[in-house]
Structure 1
């Protein structure tokens, strides 16, 4: 289900949305972290990605506004992760496409968000609500069960745990502030993996 979901979303999405899905599904990024990602946080030489900036939505005098911060949800959320080949190649394509868009749009291209990675064809930064709404539309288009965009983060943790990654490593990957937070959310998954291990041992040992 997980692989089918991602494949169908990527086939139907434009690059900005494709990027947001990969960041949540593979890296387990929160929506604010995915939208806050900047080119300055990407090290293409050493192939690393550092989560250190966020973009969220809020209300000011009854009006919806976008809030950008040079900090993450907590200290542990600021983390550096390896840049996998698929994401590396996507970023290179994105850089190339952006230069093409700037050339085509000329003075109409927005230059306010040049350091942000998640922008549209005109250079405008992708808004938080766009990700949430568009994700639901893609799922509906493919007659798939509705889940939240944030649930991709949970899918990431599930995939890691089911492949033998420790709870402590998952905590660091997701950027949780403490081990207890991760354990409280995903302890049932860890126990399920232990049951599978026990069943495997039971089949292998004949008494």
Structure 2
């Protein structure tokens, strides 16, 4: 369906359709509704939807830009309408801003989601930030689920980025409402973990015996440590007097723009992750 939105001008509602001229350049078409802004929002929204449908049918029937000059009211040259940025451009602008507000690991995650998934999809759609609807976002999530085969948990990560960016747009008066707040989020997948039994664990120990990763495997098996926690262990974490081992330091590889970055932190993932465990005699 042809994209469009309502625009208020001199107390009246106008329908603005996202069209292109013969050269493929963007040329919004303004259609007067004759409805005053006060008390006519629902009627104007219904008229917008009807006009978009009719325009789309006409476009499909003619396979070219339909002529609607008879209902077009050209805007005066001295009053150009600022469409604002495309949604895809806005997401990149927001990403650039977040680079200096979040940790590198978080930014790398945002960068991967936005540049590799969200932007390519919406760039092709050519939607402006101001005309983004909940249905557009819902269609995108459905596309990711059906065409790219991602999980609902992955879609929820995409949703978190989009919603946070649109929250910023709303706060700065770039949009009137946050369309991401009005969609039906997919249900989160429940994680069901699996674990080795005693026999399988002993077999694993035999397989890694004498190998470089032997200690890492044993630490993970005994203490349930994450990979970043095992790699990040320091001698200062071992207290032989109190017979304890403290989980504080982490080392995490992050792949960003084709390069591997090693991120070291003197803190664990979150507060519950910062813990002190008993030192097993075998390790001592």
Instruction: State the TM-score bracket (shorter-chain normalisation).
Output: 0.3 to 0.5
Q: Which structure's residues are more often helix, by fraction?
A: 1
Q: Higher RCO, 1 or 2 (CA under 8 Å, sep at least 6)?
A: 1
Which protein is bigger by CA-based radius of gyration?
Answer: 2
TM-score using structure 2 length? 0.29
